[in-house]
Chain A
Amino acid sequence: MRYLSLSPIRSVFRRVAGKWTATGLVVCLISMLLLLSAWNTGENLLYIIFGGSLGLLVISSVSGRMNLSGLDISVDMAPAVHRGDPLPAHVELRSRRWLLSAFSVRVILEGDAVEPTVAHVLRVPPRARAMVDLDLSFKRRGEHRLDSCRLRSAFPFGFYTREKRFVLANRVLVYPRVYPVSITPFERGMGAMVRARRNDEEGDEYFSLREYQPGDDIRRIVWRVSARLGTLVVREMGLGTLKTVIILIDDSGIRGPEDLERFELAVEYAASLAVAFIHKQYEVGTAAGNTSGIAPARGSLQEHRILEWFARVQPAGQDGGELLLERLARLRSEPARILCVSHRLDPGTLNLPQSCPVISPVEVATDG
């Protein structure tokens, strides 16, 4: 990544004002009381103590202002991560100063869906770099951005806290969490559930021989058998066990936070299923009621596309059931197995045809 720009108005405000800490307020108050007492009594010792406390305040103000000046940062991080996994962010603090070091600087990274992460740098010498590795952990999937990186310091005495804020442009795509899922039950059921049917255009398995009918593709004529039988015989192909799966995510019927939570579980399960199928050389595609899906394909690139799609898929809201059914109807003409993953506690409410198994992650979780 590159060096980051700084909003001038905001940074000027931060540099000049700072923020009093409780310690600083107490010292200020004590100093004022000391001055008043010294004026009232004329006691020189009180003047001396006042001079000392005022000196501390002056040094704190001057050196605190100087401490963060001349510091720049850069942030490097991976563009994507799975939810809950740590995302290492490499922050480099660079000092443009020639003479003075910066002391006790806190580096704070923060953004939406991520808790502020703080690193401490004891000293950044002049013309030097300090490199800090922070682990960011995103709580939600989706596309997020890091808002800002702040440098904060209360050095030397902790009376003022000064801050310098850098606006970041980093974006991170947080994939849903993927965990190992067994697809064997689906493989077993796939052949039984899918009605074997004729398909003149597709199919990779031999189905049967029959007499030639006008209109059949002449490339399908089995010449040897036809010569033997003395009549034209064509080869008829069937679906057999197709290795194409479309995972349909039920994004309808989201009414409240509980539904939303289950929807997230469903997305994670669906993503895990998709990855498991891809790893077993299946062609996997995705679909949802309200979102256009991804056409089935194989390979690691498809895996990334699928994970990206799952990272971005959002629920359709309370309604959307009709859209889901429409989508399903269109998908049924595809030569693929369709697995529907739903967040509903009772998937039967979807009223999907029997040919489309509905998996509820809640049930799966219950069965282990």
Chain B
Amino acid sequence: MVDLRQAMRGAIYLALFGGFLALASVRVYGPLMAVVPTVLIALNLLAERWEAYRVFRQFKTVISLLYALFIPLSVVLMGLLQAVISLVIFITCYLLLGRLTVKSCYELLLMAFFLVLGAVVQSPEPLIAVALVILLLSVVWSFALLTVQADRLAATASRPAVVVDSRSMVINDTWQLWYVLGTLALVSVVALVLGGVLFLFTPRVEAGIFGRADYQRAVTGLTDKVRLDGGMSIYQDTSAVMHVEFPEEPEGVLIPADALYWRVTTLSRFDGAEWSRYQVPAQGREVPIIWPFANGSGLVQIGKAVQRDPVQGRRLVRQEIFVDDVPTGALPVLDLVQYVALEGDERNPRTVQWDPGGDYTVLLNARGPRRLTYQAVSELFQPSPETLATASWTVTDLSETILQVLLYHDLLESTRARIDEVTRNARTPYEVMLTLVNWLNGPDFTYTLDLPPLPPTHPIDAFLTQTRRGHCELFATALALAARYKGIPTRVVNGYRGGDYNPSERAYIVRANMAHLWVEAYFQGVGWVRFDPSPRSDYTATGFAYIRQRWSQQLLLAKMFWYRNVMGFQGGWRLDTLVEQLRQGHGEGGGTGALEVFLKFTSPDRRGRIALPATLVFLVLCAGVVLGLAWRVFWRNQSPYDRVILNLHQRHARWLLRGLRRKLERVGVDTRGLTSEELLTRAASVPALDREALRWLLAYYEQARFGGGNMTFRDFWRLRGVPILRGAERQHNR
């Protein structure tokens, strides 16, 4: 027999299934997401029964509170979109773990809709078409049946309506319901068709009516590659990413201040719109010598530390660095890195290695969180202008293949002409570089984070000749390509520039908005030299950004403390080493007594004997806690009359009364259910009873039990010895 409520429930379940199926069409989630509604639906059928238990309702409340506390953390851990989707899923679970009412059904439909929206914005697979069809059909049924159910519930008439057709024959309810369901089926088909028609004929406009068509929102930071096309507005993220100390510098201040360039990756290959890494083999005397030594094929050893021979005459600067999240697989270190050593637990499998490109990139091999503390030594290298001026145009240090990469550009004729015009007076490579840097730093160009859209092909031409507005990526790329056009091998370096000095910590804080791209040009006989065409940003955080900046700095310091001093704590008293020390002190197998037993017991081959009893003890403790909680829950569910809470004196008084009852029952007095007065009356029938003593004891009991009087354990012990039957010695003191 068709039941309206069951049909409504089925429609809701189908709508939820459609929502989760839409999520399953997103690759990130996979088909497993389609199984989730099945589990939830099964739980819903059980939860309607569980809802009657207060424990279950309290459990739901606790879980909800815990999740509410988790929400901000989820945004940080998963990102905003995923956090919202997980919140929607949580709300769905919460609603399904309860009775389905008309209101909760509407809420479930809304959640299903949000799930579909969450899938739509994440480039789903074609499976979403099936999900949309299922959702639309189920929504039609759900809304209609919910409307009917709501109307039914609003009725106050005690008798149902009787429907009579044109032949005066009564139409029964079942047939009515089937007719309704059939009509709904027709309506859902009409809705499907109408939805398709409206989709085809909905007026459209150019996308981006409220903004740029390819408008993207980006945040300052580092990436593996640098893409140049597309307009975007870059949000300055002032959160702290690195904490750096210079322990050997006075006051921890690095001088000169403009040496604060932190290399992360080097990008040599340019393909017209994007920079990427290229494995440039080691060349010349700048070859990093890997410790232990590299083999000839370019494979390098990896380990907890890497270093190379320092170049004579260059100043070495030691750093202690904490990074909250190592970007793009490479460690940020002050240019030019000479030595890097990881700190922390030796058992942690993280390692570092030199990048085979020989471009001073140190790679981090790690799984899981990329939070890191490491020591580094860097060479400060900035050759003098006189040295650079003597470099020749012909580069023989680099091979043809590499030069081909480092000289590639795709500048248009007009752009080249402009560059020629700018550098017409430059005679040496160094002069060319300087001229180009001054040109880019000049009034013709504007540094901004609000980028106009650039064409997908020849974006730098557009930058150099038309827009002339951009950020460091455009400036650096323009300089690099212009220099390449002039025959100077260049590459760009991805990293950070600058740092905020914190006098109280004597350390530098490097922030995400200090991510930077600069240029390295190769000079014959000198090596790679840094050039930075981007003007310095005068950004100062204000308002909420300033608060965020301060907060992230404190958070970084707190994390540092936590991971260095708590998670990375290595000191203290070590039991295993203690045992080893004791064993060494006593010799192998030597010694007698308890210590020997202890040593044997804790020997490595008998560690199982420690683990097993420890585990058993732990399990017993856990079981005790669980049983205690269960008993407490059970006790709370008892009638309030059964769980009277007494203080210590009242408990002693109750013990006293119990003792009196037992004594009276021994002489045949039935004391069940009697108050103390009734007890006294009933006990009067006992000839041997000392009524005065009993009255006195009962008065004492009443006073302690109900009158707020005191009865310590000592009092109780004394009183229980008072005889109430004549013939016994009186040992109490009045």
Residues of A within 8 A of B (CB): 23, 26, 30, 35-36, 38-43, 45-52, 54-56, 58-59, 63, 93, 101, 103-106, 117-125, 127-135, 153-159
Query: Which residues of chain B have C-beta atoms less than 8 A from A131's C-beta?
Result: 161-164
Q: Can you list 5 A-B pairs with a CB-CB distance of less than 8 A?
A: A40-B209, A45-B128, A52-B191, A103-B180, A154-B150
CA gap between A131 and B143 in the complex, in Å? 27
Contact code string B138-150 (vs A, CB < 8 Å = 1, else 0):
0110011011101
- Do B144 and A124 touch (CB < 8 A)? no
What is the size category of the interface that chain B forms with chain A? 35 or more
- Do A55 and B195 touch (CB < 8 A)? yes
State which of A56, A121, A134, A159 has its C-beta within 8 Å of the C-beta of B140: A56
Smallest CB separation, A162 vs chain B (Å): 12
State which of B155, B164, B187, B200 has its C-beta within 8 Å of the C-beta of A118: B155
Smallest CB separation, A81 vs chain B (Å): 17
Q: Which 10 A-B pairs have the closest CB atoms?
A: A42-B207, A51-B199, A158-B147, A51-B198, A55-B194, A119-B157, A157-B143, A120-B155, A52-B195, A55-B195
- Using a CB-CB cutoff of 8 Å, which residues 169-189 of chain B contact chain A? 171, 173, 176-177, 179-180, 183-184, 187
State which of B143, B146, B163 has its C-beta within 8 Å of the C-beta of A128: B163
Task: Indicate whether A130 sits within 8 Å of B162 (C-beta atoms), given known contacts A154-B147, A157-B143, A157-B147.
Answer: yes
CA gap between A153 and B159 in the complex, in Å? 19
Whether B113 is near chain A, meaning CB under 8 Å from some CB there, is yes
Smallest CB separation, B185 vs chain A (Å): 12
CA gap between A135 and B155 in the complex, in Å? 12
- Do A120 and B151 touch (CB < 8 A)? yes
Classify the secondary structure of B's interface with A: helix
- Do B165 and A125 touch (CB < 8 A)? yes
Query: Which residues of chain B have C-beta atoms less than 8 A from A106's C-beta?
Result: 151, 154-155
- Do B166 and A121 touch (CB < 8 A)? no
- Do B155 and A42 touch (CB < 8 A)? no
- Do B199 and A120 touch (CB < 8 A)? no
- Do B171 and A128 touch (CB < 8 A)? yes
Smallest CB separation, A173 vs chain B (Å): 23
Whether B254 is near chain A, meaning CB under 8 Å from some CB there, is no
State which of A36, A56, A127 has its C-beta within 8 Å of the C-beta of B166: A127
CA gap between A103 and B161 in the complex, in Å? 13
State which of A52, A123, A133 has its C-beta within 8 Å of the C-beta of B132: A52
Smallest CB separation, B146 vs chain A (Å): 6
State which of B132, B157, B163 has its C-beta within 8 Å of the C-beta of A125: B163
Query: Which residues of chain A have C-beta atoms less than 8 A from B177's C-beta?
Result: 122
Residues of B within 8 A of A (CB): 106, 110, 113, 116-117, 120-121, 124, 128, 132, 136, 139-140, 143-144, 146-148, 150-152, 154-166, 171, 173, 176-177, 179-180, 183-184, 187, 190-191, 194-200, 202, 204-211, 213
CB nearest to B159 among chain A residues: A133
- Do A128 and B166 touch (CB < 8 A)? yes
Known: A122-B152, A157-B140. 11 other contacts (CB 8 A): A39-B205, A40-B209, A40-B210, A42-B204, A51-B196, A118-B157, A120-B154, A120-B160, A129-B163, A133-B159, A158-B147
Task: Indicate whether A55 sits within 8 Å of B191 (C-beta atoms), given known contacts A47-B199, A157-B147.
Answer: yes
- Do B155 and A49 touch (CB < 8 A)? no
- Do B157 and A51 touch (CB < 8 A)? no
CB nearest to A94 among chain B residues: B164
CB nearest to A46 among chain B residues: B120
- Do A47 and B204 touch (CB < 8 A)? yes
Task: Indicate whether A154 sits within 8 Å of B151 (C-beta atoms), given known contacts A120-B157, A132-B157.
Answer: yes
CA gap between A156 and B186 in the complex, in Å? 12
Query: Which residues of chain A have C-beta atoms less than 8 A from B132's C-beta?
Result: 45, 48-49, 52
Query: Which residues of chain B have C-beta atoms less than 8 A from A120's C-beta?
Result: 151-152, 154-155, 157, 160-161
Task: Indicate whether A40 sits within 8 Å of B136 (C-beta atoms), given known contacts A119-B155, A120-B161, A123-B176.
Answer: no
CB nearest to B191 among chain A residues: A55
Interface centre among A49, A52, A132 (most CB of B within 10 A): A52
Query: Which residues of chain B have C-beta atoms less than 8 A from A46's C-beta?
Result: 120
CB nearest to A88 among chain B residues: B159
Query: Which residues of chain B have C-beta atoms less than 8 A from A93's C-beta?
Result: 161
Query: Which residues of chain A have C-beta atoms less than 8 A from B206's C-beta?
Result: 42
CA gap between A295 and B190 in the complex, in Å? 72
Task: Indicate whether A123 sits within 8 Å of B179 (C-beta atoms), given known contacts A58-B194, A118-B155, A133-B157.
Answer: yes
CA gap between A105 and B148 in the complex, in Å? 9
Query: Which residues of chain A have C-beta atoms less than 8 A from B196's C-beta?
Result: 51
- Do B161 and A132 touch (CB < 8 A)? yes
- Do A39 and B204 touch (CB < 8 A)? yes
Smallest CB separation, B409 vs chain A (Å): 34
Interface centre among B173, B200, B207 (most CB of A within 10 A): B207
